[in-house]
A and B are shown apart, each in its own frame.
Chain A
Amino acid sequence: MTSVWVIVGYGFREAVRRKMFAVVLVLTALFLVLFWLANHFVFRSLDTITPPSGVNVDTRTFAGAFLLGLAMFATLFLGVVLAVFLTMGAVSGDAERGLLQPLVARPIGRSSLLVARFLGAGGVCTVYVLAVYSAGMIITGLTGHWWPDRLLWPGVELAVGVLVVIALSLLGSVVLSATANGIAVFMLFGAGLVAGLLASIGHALNSHTIEHASTIASWALPFEALYQDGLRMITEHASGLTGFLLQLGPFGGGYVHGWGIRVWAVAYILVVGALALAAFRRRDL
């Protein structure tokens, strides 16, 4: 077990010392500044917006949820970028560069090595996602005096969503080259986002076929379902026209939600992880 933590530490150091990490931090800082500006101007002009008579919309909730939904999307996106760049070459890429062989030759076991890489990348990304989500929530809360119905869970679900991506990326790194794996994981991520948008469209059009297709995609790529569930939770108590408008999207959601998808996401990570371990054990380096 000690060697697992040694490799976790190795992964942490790799993560924070790579230039890519600095790039993500700069992008994050830039995003948070822009996000604060957006909040500032939206909430400043909120008082001047008057809904048509007879339309009962809570404009502050609508604006706050919309803006925090935007922050959650950016958090997920940046978290996935970080996760993919940390793990896309964990096996094939490191083996091609000759970084992996000296480690695998040590008495630590391939399973321990891969688990450690997951824990290392997962630790960095979880801290990052929770920090950025919290920063977004605090900016919206302090600027617009609006707080989500659930404070912590949406961030946790985003973090678990990124862990799903890390598991997929590690599996891909065993069988694909680093570049091919990076492209493949980003395509899966894009497919998940499209599926989420489809769900909103299907809901608006009341199309069961589209909603059904989206539901299948949510189970196949649970990071998207977790993100949608997180969006749902920030306006869990919104009702009436406000709730309906938020559900129309693009930052409404939660068509597949609840403990089912959460448990499935954890099981999904375990299954994908087991596949990655089995493939890694058989792979020649």
Chain B
Amino acid sequence: MPDALTVRNLQKRYGSVDALKGVDLEVGEGELVGLLGPNGAGKSTLVKIAVGLVHPSRGEARIAGAPAGSRAARRELGYLAEMFRFPGWYTADEVLELHQRLAGSHGGEAERKRLLELVGLSDAAGRRVDGMSKGMQQRLGVAQSLVGEPRLLMLDEPTSALDPVGRRTVRLLLEELRGRGVSVLLNSHLLSEVELVCDRVVILLGGEVVTAGTPHELSRPRGVELETDEGTRRIDGATREDAPRLVAEAVAAGRKVYGVHVLTSTLEEVYLEAVGGETS
């Protein structure tokens, strides 16, 4: 079975600006991949090409083996745009019904009810979009992207307008989707969120992939912290392998050891290292 998303040597040029300079990327079955990078790194362009909204200058993107933008490819994906809006005169239920019909979903009312419940909008099924807060519209957008049980979900900043509770709802939803084998490409600026849910992280800078790997692979050792009766001591440069020896040495020296913590870099540190402080 082909990967949910395969991107090969993808290039996009807008006038004299190279938005993408030959990106390679895969999202496997049931994999949750985080796409990171500063503004203008090419993240949204990549997602839009995969969805079929933007035409690549060179290279190709395939959704479940089908060329991006083809009907076969679009049947397999759910998409939440970074900037989207639903007609204000539609109710939440009508928005989902419209997308069910466009996606060819036969889920009917049961699917709409389930999706609204998933994003915490059960009580807002009959509410018009123009009467919803931005956060509610964002959650409705997430529900819309799940219509028809897509194989690949492309989420462009899905939590940008959400409060902490809303973010947690989406995070739990993503974890549930991964459990059901749905592949997800998550484009987000919220590093903590990506670190918590993603299997793999890809960092783009200037239209190129500068770092990729699992959060564990990307993290670097930052030392070991030893908590004893003399207080907390940090041993820079020490790794996980050094921890037993450091504990043994402390005990041999007559110290009471209360705790030992292996320090690794956070995704934020990895990110800042990769992009070199670039913001846009």
Size class of the contact patch on chain A: 20 to 34
In the complex, the answer to whether B84 meets A98 with C-beta atoms within 8 Å is yes
**A99 is an interface residue with CB less than 8 A from chain B:** yes
A281 CA to B68 CA, complexed, in Å: 14
A284 CA to B49 CA, complexed, in Å: 9
A106 CA to B52 CA, complexed, in Å: 10
Checking A7, A97, A98, A284 against B54 with a beta-carbon cut-off of 8 angstroms, the contacting residue is: A284
Checking B54, B55, B71, B84 against A102 with a beta-carbon cut-off of 8 angstroms, the contacting residue is: B84
Q: A3-B102, A98-B81, A109-B71 are in contact. Are A104 and B52 (CB under 8 A)?
A: yes
Chain B residues, Cβ within 8 Å of A108: 71, 102
In the complex, the answer to whether A98 meets B85 with C-beta atoms within 8 Å is yes
Per the 8 Å Cβ criterion, residues 45-81 of B in contact with A are 48, 51-55, 71-72, 74-75, 77, 79, 81
Checking B52, B89, B101, B141 against A17 with a beta-carbon cut-off of 8 angstroms, the contacting residue is: B89
**B258 is an interface residue with CB less than 8 A from chain A:** no
Interface string of B80-100 (1 = CB under 8 A from A): 010111110110000000110
A97 CA to B84 CA, complexed, in Å: 7
**SS class of chain A's interface: helix, strand, loop or mixed?**
helix
Chain A residues, Cβ within 8 Å of B84: 98-99, 101-102
Interface string of A1-42 (1 = CB under 8 A from B): 011001100100110010000000000000000000000000
Known: A3-B102, A284-B54. 19 other contacts (CB 8 A): A2-B101, A6-B98, A17-B89, A97-B85, A99-B84, A99-B87, A101-B53, A101-B84, A102-B81, A102-B144, A103-B102, A105-B77, A105-B79, A105-B81, A106-B99, A106-B103, A108-B71, A284-B53, A284-B55
Chain B residues proximal to chain A, CB less than 8 Å: 48, 51-55, 71-72, 74-75, 77, 79, 81, 83-87, 89-90, 98-99, 101-104, 141, 144
In the assembled complex, 5 residue pairs joining A and B whose CB atoms fall closer than 8 Å, in A order, are A10-B87, A13-B87, A107-B72, A108-B102, A285-B48
Chain A residues proximal to chain B, CB less than 8 Å: 2-3, 6-7, 10, 13-14, 17, 97-99, 101-109, 282, 284-285
When A and B form their complex, which 3 residue pairs have the shortest distance between CB atoms, in order from nearest? A106-B102, A107-B74, A105-B79
